[in-house]
Structures are given as C-alpha cells and as structure tokens.
Amino acid sequence: MVNRHFHPALTNAGIDLIRFHDLRHTYASLLIEQGENIKYIQSQLGHSSPTLTLDIYAHLMKPVNQKAACRLEKTVFKPTGHKMVTKTKKGLS
C-alpha cells in the first residue's frame, strides 16, 4: 500500500517523502492542539487506554498544563499574593 499508493501520491503532489506513520502522529498532534478530549483521541487512534495515548503524546500538552497551573495558583493564592513554584511565562497568565 505504501509503495504502490502512498509514495506515488506524495510524489504527484510534490510533497517530500514521509513515513506513513507520520500522518498518524500529525493527526493526533492536531487533535491535541485543538483541545480535543483525550478519550476521543484514544478512540480515534485505537489505543487500548487513554493512559497509552497520554504516555505517547503528553509532551504536546505541556503548555496547556502550564496555563492551568497558573490559573489554579492565581485562584488559590489571590488573597495572599503568595507565589508557588510555577513560573509565569509571558502570555500564560
């Protein structure tokens, strides 16, 4: 399938050759970027559990987690102004 259809299609489209599996990773990455639910992504990829999906793609979620940590910190420590170990990056607050 790859040699007979996928590579010729890439060549005809003027796209550099990539691995077929790269399409799967790109699809998952785009779903994560769009904020899709991890359970939905897991089902789309056919993983046995959301944990497996997170083990593979959790590195793509770090900016989202940083924003959530900053929001929680502001909510919890708003009255005291206490600062925890989270670092506020420009544009994340």
What is the domain partition of the chain in residue ranges?
Answer: 2-59
Cβ atoms 45, 28 nearer than 8 A: yes
Note the pLDDT of residue 40. 95
Separation in Å, CA 32 to CA 13, 45, 56, 82, 87 = 27, 12, 12, 32, 23
- Predicted structure pTM score: 0.59
pLDDT digits (tens, 9 = 90+) for 25-48: 999 999 988 889 999 999 999 999
pLDDT digits (tens, 9 = 90+) for 63-84: 656 777 777 777 877 765 555 5
Tell which wins on pLDDT, 85 or 50: 50
DSSP reduced 3-state for 64:
helix
